[in-house]
């Protein structure tokens, strides 16, 4: 076993588990609550993480659960775009699906990304991606895996903080 790669895979799985655990305890109302007009809800942020991870999945394997599951049509969402660079109003107007539906999509995407990471070895980490769907630039599969980890953890912290503002505890403290 390659310890550094296994560590990366483990940390990626752990981040996904923490995101799902944090959201699983919330009501639909809590999921949609926004701290301010300039801040996102937990639900929107979960949608964004899952959409971005679907782009990670595409970069690593060519699969897209967003596309194969026809989620854009089901949820009346734009086919492309994961929320990055959107105006606040545009983000706020996105019709979020019910919590269970959103969580199912996120769970499936996270599990698929976790498996795609398992399928990569050192040589595949160096595979070049001419234009990453996740990063919108030339990179490698290893570059996408690393960037996904920082991306998802950045938003995990955001989720933790919004949950704190709701008067609830995050996953760090007891």
Which residues contact other proteins by CB under 8 A? 1-2, 6, 57, 60-65, 67-68, 108, 111-113, 115-116, 118-119, 121, 123, 127
Nearer to other proteins, 62 or 167 (CB): 62
Number of Cβ atoms within 10 Å of the Cβ of 48? 21
Distances in whole angstroms, Cα of residue 16 to Cα of each of 78, 89, 99, 100: 24, 27, 17, 16
Closest separation between CB of residue 126 and other proteins, Å?
12
Give the residue with the Cβ less far from other proteins, 36 or 68.
68
Phi/psi of residue 5, nearest 5 degrees: -70, -40
Round to whole Å and give the CA distance between 138 and 128: 7
Q: How far apart, in whole angstroms, are the C-alpha atoms of residue 125 and residue 92?
A: 36
Report the residue number, 129 or 159, with the smaller CB distance to other proteins: 129
Compute the distance between CA of residue 100 and CA of residue 83 in angstroms, rounded to an integer: 21
Q: How far is the CB of 163 from other proteins (least distance, A)?
A: 27
Q: How far is the CB of 150 from other proteins (least distance, A)?
A: 21
Asked if 72 and 79 touch (Cβ cutoff 8 Å), the reply is yes
At closest approach, how far in Å is the CB of 139 from other proteins? 16
Nearer residue to other proteins within complex by CB, 44 or 110: 110
């Amino acid at each position: 076993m390659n310890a550094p790669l296994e560590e990366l895979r483990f940390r990626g799985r752990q981040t996904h588990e923490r995101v799902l655990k944090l959201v699983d305890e919330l009501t639909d109302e809590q999921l949609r609550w926004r701290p301010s007009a300039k801040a996102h809800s937990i639900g929107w942020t979960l949608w964004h993480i899952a959409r971005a991870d679907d782009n990670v999945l595409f970069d690593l394997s060519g699969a897209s659960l967003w596309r194969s599951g026809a989620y854009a049509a089901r949820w009346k969402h734009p086919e492309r775009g994961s929320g990055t660079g959107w105006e606040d109003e545009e983000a706020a107007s996105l019709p979020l699906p019910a919590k269970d539906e959103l969580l199912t999509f996120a769970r499936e995407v996270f599990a698929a990304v976790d498996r795609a990471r398992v399928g990569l070895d050192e040589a595949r980490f160096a595979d070049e991606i001419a234009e990453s769907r996740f990063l919108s630039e030339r990179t490698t599969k290893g570059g996408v895996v690393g960037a996904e980890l920082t991306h998802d953890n950045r938003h995990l912290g955001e989720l933790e903080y919004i949950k704190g503002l709701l008067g609830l505890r995050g996953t760090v403290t007891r």
